[in-house]
Structure 1
């Protein structure tokens, strides 16, 4: 067998370690190479076991986070707290069912300004209340959508998308933190 083309290929690709392996394998017996392979397989098994253990722990933490989230979602939203939250986020636009085609776009803008300003300090429960308010705004938007100017509708759609992105970002952040804990 002519090894010279192999050496040329290794040299061309800059793989000196490969060339060294070829040369050292010529100086060893099959039994010695077999032992080296066994050692490497043991090392790989150890690494795989460690990775599997980390994945099991992360999976348990993610499942715990999911069960806590589900339990929180099953808790009823207090109408009084939702009303208070709506007053804080919407100010003069808190009467969502009375919003008109002329006032719905400023209401969405007010809502998102407050969400942007407060979101970093919010708990998941605060996000639940904000989501309730967002759904109510969206329901009112759907009722009067045909009477809203195109420019205002586009702006509202952009604000709706921004809210969804912020809410999802918070969920992902909380999940990441839950998986990393301990």
Structure 2
């Protein structure tokens, strides 16, 4: 849509040029085309400048995100966070085929209730917990009922969607002009 809007001045110039072509000389028409080309160049230059700025901001966001994820998680904070999200299911390695589905349900209930207030670092902790749950799920998957496995897969997908939505929002905020 934006590319169409950028072409509107050129289209208007071509229409004006064709309407006045009979009443003007080739040199006059050539000057009108030059003026419109300069105007389009200016529009293109402004758009390119905005893209460069957005690209730099996105690169800074990506760099900060990578630096943050390279920092190890605090074990005590991870344990506390896990206790808050998993409640009585916080001993992930002890989950069984009958308790893993309720653990995922508990986890996602807490994620849904709390995710709007989380920082990126909070998401790092939640992701670490999710990975541990997923590892335990993979370890006992062959003994889980099909119905429970489908529900767990849906919950895993929901977590990924919430996390991705937050990443996209934060990237969008980082790119926006201030």
Name the CA shift for 1:150/1:39 in 2 (closer, same or farther; >3 Å). Answer: same
Which position in structure 1 is the counterpart of 2:55?
59
Which position in structure 2 is the counterpart of 1:95?
91
Which position in structure 1 is the counterpart of 2:152?
156
1:19-54 CA-to-partner distances (Å, cap 9, x unmatched) read 764331100000000000000010011001101110
User: What is the distance in 2 between the residues matched to 1:129 and 1:18?
Assistant: 59
Name the CA shift for 1:20/1:53 in 2 (closer, same or farther; >3 Å). Answer: closer
User: What is the distance in 1 between the residues matched to 2:110 and 2:81?
Assistant: 11
| Number of matched pairs | 166
Matched, 1:105 2:104: no
Which position in structure 2 is the counterpart of 1:177?
173
The TM-score normalised by the length of structure 1 is 0.88
User: What is the distance in 2 between the residues matched to 1:94 and 1:152?
Assistant: 19
1:129-149 CA-to-partner distances (Å, cap 9, x unmatched) read 000000000011111111110
Name the CA shift for 1:136/1:23 in 2 (closer, same or farther; >3 Å). Answer: closer
User: What is the distance in 2 between the residues matched to 1:105 and 1:149?
Assistant: 10
Q: Supply the RMSD in Å over aligned alpha carbons.
A: 1.4
User: What is the distance in 2 between the residues matched to 1:20 and 1:45?
Assistant: 19
Name the CA shift for 1:42/1:153 in 2 (closer, same or farther; >3 Å). Answer: same
Considering only CA atoms, is the larger Rg found in Structure 1 or Structure 2?
1
Which secondary structure state, in structure 2, belongs to the residue aligned with residue 100 of structure 1? coil
User: What is the distance in 2 between the residues matched to 1:146 and 1:126?
Assistant: 31
Gaps of 5+ in 2: 1-12
Which position in structure 1 is the counterpart of 2:36?
40
Which secondary structure state, in structure 2, belongs to the residue aligned with residue 161 of structure 1? helix
1:72-114 CA-to-partner distances (Å, cap 9, x unmatched) read 0111011111100000000011111111111100000000011
The TM-score normalised by the length of structure 2 is 0.90
User: What is the distance in 2 between the residues matched to 1:54 and 1:24?
Assistant: 36
Which position in structure 2 is the counterpart of 1:5?
none
**How does 1:139-154 map onto structure 2 within 5 Å?**
139-154=135-150
Which position in structure 2 is the counterpart of 1:12?
none
Gaps of 5+ in 1: 1-16
